[in-house]
Amino acid sequence: MYYLLMIILVQDTVIQAVQVIGGNVTVTQGDTAVLPCLLSGSTESLTQITWQRRTRLIKSNTNFYTILSKNGPENFNGRDERFSFVGNISIKNGSLQLSSVTLSDEGTYTCIYTLFPSGNYKTEIPLNVLVPPKVSTEDKLLFVGNEEVVLGSCTAANSWPPATVNWHLGNLSDVLIITHNFTENADGTTNTVSTLSGVPRRDLNNRLVQCVIISSAFPGGTTVPLTIKIHFPPSEVNISETSRYSFKCTSEANPKANITWSRLGQPWPESAAKVSGAMLQILKPTPQLNGLFQCKASNTYGTSQGPIYLHYLSSEGTGTAGWIMFSLLLFANAVFAAMWWFRSDKKCALPFVNTERNVRATDRTSGEPRERRRLSGTQEVESETEQ
């Protein structure tokens, strides 16, 4: 009885000393994985090393590879040339290499050592496969409006594990709405789509936001920029004098407005004025140029236009700019004159522009005071002062 107990204790000590060492393996799809398997603590004879696997496609443990002490490695249950023996049976190293790893290879691999006379010893090696997402952003073809619409989206497609999509919006976080959508593909990968919604206002055009993708396959994550695009017709036309005798026409629009210049009511003065893009250049500032010029800005969505009135006075044989009035002043005077004409109970000549102050005069016949308006043209308008 004593000797039997000693034998059991010795065997238990031997069994406890034998250890199969594996590990947890993570690899990116398409790369090569090494499945480690080492035996330590045994001096018994090694008969063979057997490999089993349980994967996404193979649902139960199945033998697929053996390394015999005499005959070497052997594939079975469906030959897979991607597996190769990279260990050394003489030192009880049973490691395998798997090339061109796919997501379907993910699972648990079991390495089993058969020793004589004690039997089998094994360990499990989990294989984790990372599939980096295919990242893309999409901006929408939008027109300025008052209804909430999708402004853009960011997609992390065909990834494993599922990727997380976030946004850096800066000061737009209060006006934009974020939504997420998650779907699974037939091959086990996932798609994560995040959309930005808001009212397509003109001030959102060309605003930059950033899509941030967090994935196990992207240490630290990755960031992709997205520029919001809002289309709108040309805004109010602005004409500015950039230098003496040069005028520039601008108008905010998306797409960019096409700028054209024309002369209203008169032929274009080919030798005296030239157009270069948005610039109107006066080559010879003479009275022959006097009149109304118009700038027109247009794109797919609309047109905006604005005039400029030029007036030059002859001076010392050269042209000297007398004054420049924009259409706002011209039209305001015209409206004022029309209103005055229809409301007045006296018929009189209609002025075209009134640019000077009223002056006081005395009637030549009665000696009574009267109002006389000196006009910029050749006409004057007089009216009796109420007694």
Name the β-bridge partners of 249.
239
pLDDT given at position 220: 82
Per CATH, the number for 238-329 is 2.60.40.10
Say which CATH topology domain 2-130 has: Immunoglobulin-like (2.60.40)
Domain boundaries, the chain: 2-130, 134-231, 238-329, 344-384
- Domains 2-130 and 238-329 in one fold: yes
pLDDT given at position 368: 41
pLDDT along the chain (387 residues), means of 10: 38 65 96 97 92 94 91 84 93 96 97 94 97 94 93 96 95 95 94 97 95 90 94 95 93 95 92 93 91 96 94 56 44 49 42 32 37 34 31
Q: What is the pLDDT of residues 126-148, one digit of tens each?
A: 999 999 999 999 998 899 999 99
- How far apart CA 248 and CA 254 sit, in angstroms, is 19
Neighbours of 8 (CB within 10 A): 10
pLDDT given at position 300: 94
Predicted model pTM: 0.66
Q: What is the pLDDT of residues 13-65, one digit of tens each?
A: 445 589 999 999 999 999 999 999 999 998 899 999 999 999 999 999 999 99
Per CATH, the number for 134-231 is 2.60.40.10
pLDDT given at position 71: 80
